Chains A and B, each alone.
Chain A
Amino acid sequence: MLEIEGLHVAVSGKEILKGLSLSIAAGEVHAIMGPNGSGKSTLSYVLAGREGYEIISGSIRYRGEDLAAMAPEERAAKGVFLAMQYPVEIPGVTTMNFLKTALNAQRRARGEKDIDALGVLRLVREKAKALHISEEMLKRALNVGFSGGEKKRLEILQMALFEPALAILDETDSGLDIDALKVVADGVNGLRSSERAMLVITHYQRLLNHIVPDRVHVLYGGRIIKEGGKELAHELEAKGYAEIIREAA
């Protein structure tokens, strides 16, 4: 589903990703762990197509296509979804209106018919309920004044609504209380299927107890320095990054 090869990426002239390679097959869930500043969010932004992230060399293929050549909205319509580490506040746009606009924009780009306002409302309500997101929140301006955990939940609501083929979750667990973590993990697990892949970026083993990954990668200094099965997350938790980095060197 996703093949990244020898990826070098610079931001503001500074090289951040330095030869990153990673492959995720359909049906798999991969986790990326790594210390602060190692390039995890940079990778997620490159995958989503944020401007200012210059690909110096390497390739990103998504379902056989060159992902880097696509506009962000095209990626979204083709099933790429990034739950951001820091979701953006947009005053003046109500959450509900945003969800409707985004959902139908994706559908239109795929040549599907719009869902009418009532239909979207029903759909959103049903998904929101499972994530304990209140009606009142949906009426407010997008992310404005939302608590850290509420913002993360709204990201997961979008994931549930858009049903992406490739979901990238950038520290969605940070800032969530224990109950919310469970709710979010249930949301993610509910989407797991043989046609979907997920890339879960996290600092904590805790999340991976709920969302059990097929593979775990350690990102350090812009490269994957170690990978393994789900037990690697336990090893990291026990040893800390310093030792893993020493071992890998």
Chain B
Amino acid sequence: MSALPNRRVEDWKYTDLRNAIEGEAVASAPVARWSVTLSGTVEQNELPEIMARGTHGEMGTVAAAHAKSGIFLHVGKGEQGTVHLELSNAGHGRALIVVEEGASLTLRETMSVGDFSNIAIEIVAGPNAQLHHIREANADGESVRVSDYSIRIAQGATYRAHFADFGAKLSRTELHIALEGEGAEVHLSGVSVLGDGGHADVTTRVTHSAGNAQSTQLFKLIAGGKSRGVYQGKVSVAEGANGSDSRQTAKGLLLGERAEIDLKPELEILADDVKCAHGAAIGDLDPESLFYLRSRGVAEPEARALLMRAFLEDAVAEITDEDIRAEVWSHVEAALAELTA
């Protein structure tokens, strides 16, 4: 295996994998094992080695090469189901999830396995399929975790996903998303809440290859202690993908001198008739708001947590499933309480 991605590679500028783990440890990592909980009409099979050939980044390609076996989840035409996916053993992992025409799937993913994990997940949403994907990655200052998603969205289908990351020694989430059919939609949102020693990198690559497709992205990052939050998002609108509508927002909240946030939204437009907007901003907690709350009796740590919660509000609100949203909120609030303790 060639050298691990490091800060000299443009896409990995803020996430130096070579510095976080030995090349040997990556090469010798075992095949990861999944724990899967299903309900509704979802079929689960062993993933044949020849399948799953999405557009992955460097590490996704490595995962696909190492993980001889994986899982294959399938929701048939018009069917409905829910899946809870979790790695039970770290290592290189592979999964393929296919949601056929008109089918719908709620996919929950939790990440709490330690050590080194490197997973490649391919998701295929057929025409008019509906996918709601929520991933939560716990706080773990010891582990190195890389997740690389390749997602294809057919005409009229919607992929809606939320990524909550509470920070690892190194945490990289890479999303390669192709809007392949007319009217396809992707709605990405996420929160990174990082305490001392935490790192979380969300890198998205969204390509509008068909017309009248819509992509929205809303990411909020909070970095406290010595931590680093990264968002890099590139939206490309291919030639002829007219009527594309793309919005991209990333905001960071820095809690101290030693925290760092890097936001890099990018746009590449080759079509004529498109609507695109992107913005990024980094700030700290507003002292006037803090004083207002304190003058009404809210103690400082609680006031800070309240303002941070407010900062994250619209990103978490993107989770449409009420129960899951409440659960994510409870984890976010616990992380905020740690940050303000």
Contact = CB atoms under 8 A, between A and B. Distances in A.
B299 to A, nearest CB: 5
Interface stretch (B53-61, B120-128, B310-318): B310-318
Contacts of B289: 88, 90
A73 B294 contact: yes
A91 interface: yes
A102 B300 contact: no
Nearest to A93: B310
Contact of A84 (B287, B292, B293): B292
A50 B292 CA distance: 9
Contacts of B292: 84, 87-88, 90
Nearest to B308: A92
Contacts, number: 75
A49 interface: yes
B297 A71 contact: no
| Most A Cβ at <10 Å: residue of B289, B295, B298, B302 | B295
A156 interface: no
A202 interface: no
A102 B291 contact: no
A49 B288 CA distance: 12
A166 to B, nearest CB: 13
Contacts of A76: 294-297
Contacts of B313: 91-92
A51 B287 contact: yes
A191 B289 CA distance: 27
Interface string A69-98: 001110111000010100110111100001
B310 A50 contact: no
Contacts of A84: 292, 295
CB-CB nearest 10 A-B residue pairs: A92-B310, A76-B297, A106-B297, A92-B313, A72-B294, A102-B296, A88-B292, A105-B297, A105-B298, A93-B310
Contacts of B309: 92-93
B306 interface: yes
B307 interface: yes
A77 B299 CA distance: 10
A93 B288 CA distance: 15
A90 to B, nearest CB: 5
A49 B294 CA distance: 9
Contact of B293 (A102, A103, A109): A102
B300 A101 contact: no
B306 to A, nearest CB: 6
B310 A109 contact: no
B315 to A, nearest CB: 10
A82 B302 contact: no
A103 B299 CA distance: 12
A113 to B, nearest CB: 15
Interface string B273-299: 000000000000001110111111111
A105 B305 CA distance: 14
A12 B15 CA distance: 41
A77 B297 contact: yes
A148 to B, nearest CB: 16
A72 B314 contact: no
A154 B287 CA distance: 21
Contacts of A109: 297, 299
A158 interface: yes
Nearest to B310: A92
A103 B294 CA distance: 12
Interface string A157-179: 01000100000000000000000
Interface string A43-85: 0000011110000000000000000000111011100001010
Contacts of B302: 101, 105
5 contacts: A73-B299, A90-B307, A92-B311, A98-B293, A109-B297
A162 B307 CA distance: 21
Contacts of A82: 295
Nearest to A80: B295
Given A92-B310, A93-B310, A109-B299, A71 B294 contact: yes
A51 B291 contact: yes
Given A92-B307, A93-B307, A101-B298, 8 more contacts: A51-B291, A84-B292, A90-B292, A92-B312, A102-B293, A109-B297, A158-B296, A162-B297
B298 A102 contact: yes
Contacts of A105: 296-299, 302
Contacts of B288: 88
